Amino acid sequence: MDLKEHIRQIPDFPKPGINFFDISTLMKNAQTWRDVINQLVEVVGPWQPQVVAGIDARGFLVASPLAIQLGCGLVMVRKKGKLPGRVNRANYGLEYGTDEIEIQTDAVEPGQKILIVDDLLATGGTIMAAATLLRQGGGHVVGAVSVIELDFLKGRAKLDMPFQSLVQYDTE
């Protein structure tokens, strides 16, 4: 199955010059969505994660069913100001600016094997910021995965953990 047939591209969103890769069109087909999650399970199963860390917001949509299939717990990596209690924060760069993410200080236990999940890898900034926060909590990041990878932004080269994606785009 060619997953690209199920991913909609929206030009100039969220700002001019950005081509947005929309997974909502992929998710609305139950069988296609099930196939995506099953493919991800096959890819990351050998890493034997104990916890899946989903990145706000579309990463949650991928991480939740993946965690269930893997028999793992789920940790939320959220945008600034969305989590209650004590949090650790990290800044990161986007294709179109900067942002901040955070996790609760008790989100991971020392030594836990953690898989980072997002819907898309662009510059690598979000995944690396998440890895920094998870490691600050004592977690061991075993790898990261996304549905989509934008090869032309070379985000994979910035990652310091194993990484896999299901769909790659070579040009904008």
Contact at 8 Å (CB) between 48 and 42?
no
- Is 58 among the catalytic positions? yes
Nearest CA to 134 among 99, 100, 101, 103? 103
- Is 95 among the catalytic positions? yes
Q: Could you count the other beta carbons within 10 Å of the beta carbon of residue 172? A: 12
Q: Which among 8, 42, 89, 95 is annotated as catalytic?
A: 95
Q: Which among 58, 78, 102, 149 is annotated as catalytic?
A: 58
Can you give the C-alpha Rg of the chain in angstroms? 15
Burial class (CB in 10 A: 0-12, 13-18, 19+), 131: buried
Contact at 8 Å (CB) between 124 and 158?
yes
Please give the Cα distance from 112 to 108 (Å, whole number).
Answer: 7
**Residues with catalytic roles:** 58, 95
